[in-house]
Amino acid sequence: MITHLRIQNYAIIRSLDIELKNNLSAVTGETGAGKSIVMGALGLILGERADSSVLWNKNEKCIVEGTFNIASYSLKKFFELNDLDYDEETIIRREISEAGKSRAFINDTPVTLTLVKELGERLVDIHSQHETLELNNREFQLEIVDVFSKVQEEVTAYRASFNNYQQLQKQLAQLEEQDAAATRDKDFKQFLLNELLEANLQPGEQEQTETELNTLNNAEDIQLALNTGVQLLREQENAAISMLQEVRTQFQRVAKFNPRIDDLFKRLDSSLIELKDIANEVEDIAQDISSDKQRQEVLTARLDLMYSLQKKHRCNTLEELHSIQQQLSTELENIDSLEAKIDQLKKEQSDLHTALLKTARQISDKRKKHIPALEKSINVLLQQVGMPNAGIQMKQDILPDAQLNLNGVDQLTLLFASNKGSAFQPLNKIASGGELSRLMLCIKTVVAHLTQLPTLIFDEIDTGISGETARQVGDVMKKLAEKHQVICITHLPQIAGKAHQHYFVYKESDSKTTHSNMRLLNSNERIEEIAKMLSGSKPTESALANARELVG
């Protein structure tokens, strides 16, 4: 339970420091006095977001601090798991700087806002007028059933697996889309690869083929040139080699007389050796070259194949064709690998769906088992809040054809009937604001007993009721407050009169500013405040007497 609340520099609250008590506390005050502002500040230490707009004085930081007695609640494990110092008097603090920067602390340890929210959800439940609208939300309705059926942990585990299942579905859809696109091109890519494989192109083959074919195409000219060369080098009467041999003979005769001539002799001797070798090689080449039409046709066809493949694949070399061949092979392997991956994911998806369906049906059975008791508990409470002929039904529908959703196989609808003999219909079609508020109180009462939530705060849950109904609602709250700390912001004297203590929110002004404050009323002040709620700012004696009667 929350035992102390300190608020500094928040909205129109300059400074508020107040002790809060157990059981049922009523909070009253004129419209606009700041009751909702106090609730807003309380929301900060329960994990709500805020910025610098909440600052009363823009030059000072805002501090909201709450002290919670958690001795009677099983929260040690939560503190251990989050590496927090456990203290039976735990303090949660929020600070909003002048620049709007927010900091949060649990027992003076800096923590994230998410962690504050997680702890806050275990300490306080705040019901606002807006939350009453949640009754029309099927997710909220199902959550009520899950709390009552005690399947929340199972549902959480199921949802984690269901999210994995959806991720598998998404991944599988993407892979199947890729596979469909790839498969459309698979046959063509296989054809291109087979064409390249059958061509069996070898490194350097194009250059060799072009050279050989060029030689065959010009064989006659080449032979003529080579034969002429042989004749000029050594076969004619004045052949080059013969002439040079004569020059060599003359140089050899006089070389001993002059070193320079000897050097020329040696060079000429080397040249003759080289010329003779050239003549022999020319003769060999001339003998090897012959016109071969059949070979020409083979080489021409081979080159045409190379040029055709290069044109088809928009490249210029055999090396590029080889790279394309490797790429096609890799792409086809990837298609096969993709198909195998799809088969694997389909099996995983099927196995997970089977497991999920089994779990979902088990959860559904537990929900079905507990729904009658939940309906009975709420319907009994409805009679206690001035709705003796009203009732609810939880309509549980099962999804067809083994379908699943985030909640399992169930679709739940909360149906309501306000009068005897009336047909049960969805809430949003028939329930009034006052009926919704009282139904929410009944639901909160049932859930609170199950969850052992320390503190419940009702922000004007008494909307749309008055008189005897208000008194009955107050009785239910008072009963609820026997096991929980209940704080009720109310405009109804009948509910305020049921409280164990009464807090008053008011505005006060000095020469420069107006700000909100809150204080605990003593017995006489409480009687007077309830009397004012009954008759106006100047209560009559009858109103005071009535107030005393309400307080009891």
pLDDT by residue (tens digit) across 237-254? 788 888 888 888 988 889
Q: Given a cut of 90, is residue 137 above it in pLDDT?
A: no
Query: What one-character-per-residue DSSP string does 47-77 give?
Result: T----GGGBSSTTS-EEEEEEEE-TTS--HH
460 band by pLDDT with thresholds 50, 70 and 90:
confident
Q: Are 256 and 305 in contact (CB under 8 A)?
A: no
Q: Are 85 and 107 in contact (CB under 8 A)?
A: yes
Task: Please report, rounded to a whole number, the percentage of residues in the chain having pLDDT higher than 70.
Answer: 99
How confident is the model at residue 290, as a pLDDT? 75
What mean pLDDT do residues 222-250 have? Answer: 85
Q: Within 10 A of 226 (CB to CB), how many other CB atoms are there?
A: 19
How confident is the model at residue 511, as a pLDDT? 80
Distance CA 324, CA 301 (A): 22
Between 52 and 515, the higher pLDDT residue: 515
Q: What is the layout of strands, in order, in the sheet containing 391-398?
A: 391-398, 410-417, 425-426
Q: Within 10 A of 250 (CB to CB), how many other CB atoms are there?
A: 12
pLDDT per residue as tens digits for the range 366-399: 999 999 999 999 999 999 998 999 999 999 999 9
Q: Is 402 left (phi over 0), alpha (psi -120 to 50) or beta?
A: left
Q: Within 10 A of 205 (CB to CB), how many other CB atoms are there?
A: 15
For 518, residues 6+ apart whose C-beta sits below 8 A from its C-beta are: 16, 18, 27, 29, 34, 38, 503, 504, 505, 506
C-alpha distances in Å from residue 462, one per residue of 132, 259, 416, 428, 471: 11, 133, 19, 19, 10
C-alpha distances in Å from residue 152, one per residue of 148, 184, 451: 9, 47, 11
In the three-class reduction of DSSP (H, G, I as helix; E, B as strand; rest coil), residue 538 is classed as coil
Task: Please report, rounded to a whole number, the percentage of residues in the chain having pLDDT higher than 90.
Answer: 62
The bridge status of strand 501-509 relative to strand 24-28 is parallel
How confident is the model at residue 345, as a pLDDT? 92
How confident is the model at residue 409, as a pLDDT? 95
- What global pTM score does this model have? 0.70
Q: Are 168 and 348 in contact (CB under 8 A)?
A: yes
**Alpha helices in 385-421, H assignment, sequence order:** none
Q: Given a cut of 80, is residue 342 above it in pLDDT?
A: yes
pLDDT per residue as tens digits for the range 464-521: 788 899 999 999 999 999 999 999 999 999 999 999 999 999 999 888 889 999 999 9
Q: Are 111 and 45 in contact (CB under 8 A)?
A: no
Q: Within 10 A of 261 (CB to CB), how many other CB atoms are there?
A: 16
Q: Are 426 and 415 in contact (CB under 8 A)?
A: yes
Residue entry with tokens 């059933």: 145
**What is the residue-averaged pLDDT of the chain?**
90
